[in-house]
């Protein structure tokens, strides 16, 4: 039999089949709601577990890319030396602190897993040594990088034991972290290119002397370790030309007798040799 329901003075008849469908729909909605609730509850519990794990676990920080600085120095510079909570680390502030150091060229900081932090460092490395007058010791031996930054004293970079002297740069009242004038940068980049392209050839040079000309450009004179003859390079340092110059000096060293070579001019397409004038007794 059908059930009669009075709605708005109208009789509506519901068959048993319709009532069954309605009942199943209600049960489905109830089951669906319960499932959503359980999913949300489980998600909240997992999030709470992760949060508690992070809070009670020690922070693990790893550092890569360092050659001179220690991990402890990196953490001190970044200001995260004694951090116990991963949420207390501000990555942007730590990165800015690292890159504000004159010893660091770039830094990258990334979270790894839940409580791990990885710092990748690119240090500023020396390409040569500048002799600077000092009131205390008479002079200081200061290392300079390819960007012209004074990054530290020679003893701090003792592992780089074959650094050439870079002369002709006059500095007064300097501080570590200062940067050389922009006119020297192209020469420093050239020295760095020589170092990167041919380390062995780079180690055969004892000095790069920079001469400032009247029109403002810088001319470079190279002094090889094995010879007492200057090689005038011009405004750029071409590794292939430096190699040719050393080959030339080596080839003629036994053919000039007691005549002393003063300079090998490697500017332009035609190379020339200048001999020292003999002094009459």
* pLDDT tens digits, one per residue of 135-167: 666 789 999 999 999 999 999 998 888 899 999
Question: Topology of 57-123 in CATH?
Answer: Ubiquitin-like (UB roll) (3.10.20)
Is residue 6 scored above 80 in pLDDT? no
| Mean model confidence pLDDT for the chain | 83
Domain 128-275, CATH: 3.40.50
For residues 154-192, one letter each, b for 16 or more C-beta atoms within 10 angstroms of the residue's C-beta and e for the rest, the string is bebbeebeebbbbbbbebeeeeeeeebeeebeebbbbbb
Provide the pLDDT for residue 17.
Answer: 53
Is residue 7 scored above 50 in pLDDT? no
pTM: 0.74
**Where along the chain do its domains lie?**
57-123, 128-275
* pLDDT tens digits, one per residue of 169-199: 988 888 999 999 999 999 999 999 999 999 9
Q: How far apart are alpha carbons 274 and 111 in whole angstroms? A: 61
Q: How far apart are alpha carbons 251 and 88 in whole angstroms? A: 65
């Amino acid at each position: 039999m059908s059930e009669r329901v009075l709605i708005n003075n109208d009789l509506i008849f519901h068959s048993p089949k319709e009532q069954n469908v309605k009942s199943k729909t209600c049960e489905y909605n109830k089951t669906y709601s319960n499932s959503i609730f359980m999913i949300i509850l489980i998600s909240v519990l997992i999030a709470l577990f992760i949060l508690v794990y992070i809070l009670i676990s020690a922070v693990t920080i790893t550092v890569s890319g360092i050659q001179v600085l220690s991990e402890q120095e990196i953490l001190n510079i970044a200001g995260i030396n004694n951090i116990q909570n991963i949420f207390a680390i501000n990555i942007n502030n730590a990165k800015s602190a690292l890159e504000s150091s004159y010893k660091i060229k770039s830094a990258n900081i990334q979270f790894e897993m839940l409580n791990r932090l990885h710092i990748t460092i690119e240090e500023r490395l020396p390409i040569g040594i500048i002799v600077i007058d000092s009131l205390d010791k008479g002079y200081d031996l200061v290392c300079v990088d390819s960007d012209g930054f004074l990054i530290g004293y020679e003893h701090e970079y003792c592992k780089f034991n074959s650094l050439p002297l870079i002369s002709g740069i006059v500095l007064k009242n300097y501080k570590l972290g200062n940067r050389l004038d922009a006119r020297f940068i192209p020469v420093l980049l050239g020295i760095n290119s020589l170092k990167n392209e041919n380390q062995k050839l780079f180690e055969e040079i004892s000095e790069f002397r920079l001469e400032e000309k009247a029109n403002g450009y810088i001319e470079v004179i190279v002094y090889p370790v094995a010879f007492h003859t200057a090689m005038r390079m011009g405004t750029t340092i071409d590794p292939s030309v430096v190699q040719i110059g050393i080959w030339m000096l080596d080839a003629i060293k036994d053919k000039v007798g007691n005549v002393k070579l003063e300079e090998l001019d490697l500017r332009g397409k035609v190379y020339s040799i200048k001999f020292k004038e003999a002094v009459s007794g």
